[in-house]
Every structure is written in structure tokens, then in C-alpha cells.
């Protein structure tokens, strides 16, 4: 599998999705959550014909009942015929009184053209979710929530798609969504996302991150404020102490090779936005997750390709002060001979009091692998 970098603080990785197997030429865009019964659920895009971001793409799921040591066969959970279903963003709703064992919500997008064409106004991205009441074994019919969380200007397709804002490209977070656990918005389902607005602009300035959320367990959804930084893209989010929210986004412009961070008291209005230069980034996706508490602060985990030039040096960082500083750094995977795209997209899941699981793209997108890390 190419050059193998031994990891610090982690065991060897376990292949989960291997490109060229189980009916798919390529697997990309990992997302992972842990079910209330302890099962690990790994999601990805199964790309039928090749590695391109557009085409016949399904969202697929694998399950591990033994803490990531072995994984089930592929299960298709979202299919848009010969078109694209992508950007899986799963989250367990653990506060819905109608489902005391927890309800799994999977948010995703569909598209009918390449992203570049959609940005030109020559295609449409829509937003959906599916729900499962048995931990992903069976699924309810898809629910289209585009009219609530997107602002497209395509009345020829749907009279409700008549927004003057003219949002075009649209993508949920690549990775898990989240649920608030404390504060005045406890129970809120929160999904980071991004969109492009209007005509294509130089340096990807038509992109901006945002989020959407539900306070009634998926019956209705509302939009957050848009993050002010132009080029903010592929956002992920974590809960801070006191029920606040931190959004962490890719900088698509690339002029600053660091993560964009926005902090909110309610997940609706962004109170402060800045570049975190302690989180270098090559213009790639990252994952952030709340994993515990220390005194009055939340403990956060963050993973990304910590390299300003190539998708390599996948690093897990731990913050004990709500993301202000990052005290621990653990290299998950790093090429020994400068391979491009050696470790790319990743997603995090809490697996124990002092352990985090990471599902990530490995060795030039040849596979998506899992590793459990003690921090």
C-alpha cells in the first residue's frame, strides 16, 4: 500500500473501504459515528466509475461490532440513480422522546452536474436526510429539506427555488454532524455546510460556510448566519462549554494555509471569526469533535492533513481549553517519501474516555482506513 509511516500513539490502521472492491472503483469522503450500543458506523461515498467528484455516486455504510477490528460488507443507504448522492453527515439524536434508544439521522446532498457547472448556474444541488430507528439497519424514505436550508434561484425546477441570493454549489460537512448536549439549545441537531453565491468569483470568493439546525428532531430546519470570510468551505463543528459552537472550515482561497474558525454563543450568529495559524492546512477537509470536559472547558479533538502544501501528515490534536490552544499533537499517518495525498480527508469519533477513532483516506485514495488512538 505504498510507503508506510508508523504512527505515534496509535495502532496500525484497518482497511474499511478499499477502492476497486464491492462494486465501486473508488471510495471517498469518510464519516463515522458511534451508536448507543457501541457499534461503529462508517459512511463514505461509493463512486461507481472512478474517483471523480461527480457521477454515479452512492452513500455506503459499514458496521463494526468489535471496536473497529472488523467491518461488515457494504450497505447502500442513499442512491440517486445514475447521479450523485454525497457528503454523508450522520448524527445520533439522543434526546427525542419518541425514540428513547436514539435515532440516526443521515444528511446528504444530491447533484445533477459537476460542481464547476453548478457554480455557473448550470445545475442544482439539493439537501436531504434519511432516518433510521434501529442504528442504521433499516432506513425511512428520504426527506428533501432543500426549501428550508438552501437558497437556490431555479424556479424553473421548483417554484420555491426563487431566492435572490442565488446559492448554487452546496455541501453539507464532509463528516459527522452534531447534537448540542448542554445550555439553552440542548438537543439541537446542528449540521455545518457551505454554499457558493452568485456568479463564479476569482479565488473562490463565491464560497462561504454556514450551518443549519433543527430544534424539533428533524421536523423543521433553520439556517445559521453565513460565516463572513469569503472562501470559507467544507465546515465542521464542535460544541464548546456552555452550549456554544465552534465552526472550523477549510480556506478555499488558499492564500492563508490555515483553518478558518468561527465561534458562536448559539450556533446561529457568529460572534468572532479568525484564522487559527496553529492549525496549518493544505486546502483540505478536517474534523473537529468534543470528547470530554476538563474543569470548565470542553476537550476538543481535531484532525487534518497538517501540511501547507500536500495532503499528508494527518495529525490528531487535543485541546483542553475549548480550542484556544492545542496541547497534544499525535501523528496519525505521514509519508516517508513525500507521497502526495498520502493522508487526506478524515473524521473523528469518541470511542472511550481517553481514546478517539479516526476514519481517513489513505495512500492516494486507495482506501479509507480506521485507527483507534489513545490520547
Q: Give tens-digit pLDDT for 74-91.
A: 999 999 999 999 999 999
6: Cβ contacts below 8 Å, ≥ 6 apart:
none
69: Cβ contacts below 8 Å, ≥ 6 apart:
14
Average pLDDT (174-185) is 97
Q: Which pTM was predicted?
A: 0.96
Average pLDDT (34-61) is 97
Q: Give residue 228's pLDDT.
A: 98
Average pLDDT (155-171) is 98
Average pLDDT (197-215) is 98
Q: Residue 2 above 80 pLDDT?
A: no
If you write DSSP's letter for every residue of 299-348 in order, what string do you get? Answer: EEEEEEE--SSSS--EEEEEESSTTS---EEEEEE--SS--TTSEEEEEE
User: Residues 50, 58: contact at Cβ < 8 Å?
Assistant: no
Per-residue confidence band for 14, with pLDDT thresholds at 50, 70 and 90: very high
Q: Give residue 302's pLDDT.
A: 98
Q: Which three cell numbers mark 176?
A: 459527522
User: Residues 251, 260: contact at Cβ < 8 Å?
Assistant: yes
Q: Which CATH class is domain 14-374?
A: mainly beta
Q: Residue 7 above 70 pLDDT?
A: no
Q: Residue 339 above 90 pLDDT?
A: no
User: Residues 56, 82: contact at Cβ < 8 Å?
Assistant: yes
Q: Where are the domains of the chain?
A: 14-374
Q: Give residue 338's pLDDT.
A: 82
Average pLDDT (116-136) is 98
Q: Residue 6 above 90 pLDDT?
A: no
Q: Give residue 8's pLDDT.
A: 42
Q: Give residue 271's pLDDT.
A: 97
Average pLDDT across the chain, whole number: 96
Q: Give tens-digit pLDDT for 282-307.
A: 999 999 999 999 999 999 999 999 99
Q: Residue 10 above 60 pLDDT?
A: no
Per-residue confidence band for 11, with pLDDT thresholds at 50, 70 and 90: low
Strand, helix or coil for residue 119: helix
**Rounded to the nearest 10 degrees, how much is the dihedral formed by the CA atoms of 334, 45, 38, 136?**
180
Q: How far is 15 from 367, CA to CA, in rounded Å? A: 7
Amino acid at each position: 500500500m505504498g510507503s508506510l509511516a508508523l504512527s505515534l500513539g496509535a495502532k496500525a490502521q484497518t482497511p474499511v473501504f478499499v477502492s476497486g472492491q464491492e462494486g465501486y472503483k473508488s471510495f471517498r469522503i469518510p464519516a463515522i459515528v458511534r451508536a448507543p450500543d457501541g457499534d461503529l458506523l462508517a459512511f463514505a461515498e461509493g463512486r461507481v466509475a472512478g474517483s471523480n467528484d461527480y457521477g454515479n455516486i452512492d452513500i455506503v455504510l459499514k458496521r463494526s461490532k468489535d471496536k473497529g477490528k472488523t467491518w461488515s460488507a457494504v450497505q447502500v443507504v442513499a442512491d440517486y440513480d445514475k447521479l450523485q448522492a454525497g457528503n454523508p453527515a450522520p448524527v445520533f439524536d439522543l434526546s427525542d422522546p419518541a425514540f428513547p434508544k436514539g435515532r440516526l439521522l443521515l444528511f446528504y446532498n444530491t447533484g445533477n452536474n459537476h460542481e464547476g457547472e453548478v457554480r455557473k448556474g448550470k445545475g442544482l444541488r439539493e439537501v436531504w436526510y434519511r432516518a433510521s430507528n434501529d442504528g442504521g439497519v433499516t432506513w425511512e424514505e428520504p426527506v428533501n429539506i432543500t426549501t428550508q436550508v438552501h437558497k437556490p434561484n431555479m424556479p424553473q425546477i421548483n417554484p420555491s427555488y426563487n431566492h435572490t441570493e442565488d446559492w448554487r454549489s452546496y455541501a453539507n460537512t464532509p463528516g459527522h454532524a452534531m447534537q448540542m448536549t448542554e445550555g439553552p439549545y440542548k438537543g439541537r441537531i446542528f449540521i455545518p455546510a457551505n454554499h457558493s453565491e452568485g456568479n463564479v468569483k476569482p479565488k473562490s470568493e463565491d464560497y462561504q460556510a454556514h450551518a443549519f439546525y433543527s430544534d424539533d428532531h428533524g421536523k423543521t430546519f433553520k439556517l445559521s448566519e453565513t460565516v463572513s470570510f469569503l472562501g470559507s468551505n467544507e465546515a465542521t463543528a464542535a460544541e464548546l462549554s456552555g452550549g456554544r459552537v465552534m465552526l472550523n472550515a477549510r480556506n478555499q482561497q488558499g492564500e492563508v494555509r490555515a483553518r478558518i474558525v468561527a465561534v458562536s454563543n448559539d450556533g446561529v450568529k457568529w460572534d468572532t471569526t479568525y484564522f487559527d495559524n496553529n492549525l496549518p492546512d493544505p486546502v483540505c477537509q478536517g474534523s473537529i469533535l468534543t470528547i470530554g470536559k476538563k474543569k470548565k472547558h470542553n476537550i476538543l479533538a481535531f484532525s487534518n492533513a497538517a501540511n501547507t502544501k500536500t495532503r499528508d501528515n494527518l495529525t490528531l490534536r487535543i485541546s483542553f481549553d475549548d480550542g484556544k490552544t492545542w496541547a497534544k499533537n499525535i501523528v496519525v499517518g505521514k509519508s516517508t517519501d513525500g507521497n502526495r495525498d498520502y493522508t487526506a480527508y478524515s473524521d473523528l469519533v469518541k470511542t472511550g474516555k481517553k481514546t478517539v477513532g479516526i476514519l481517513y483516506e489513505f495512500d492516494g485514495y486507495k482506501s479509507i482506513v480506521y485507527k483507534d488512538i489513545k490520547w
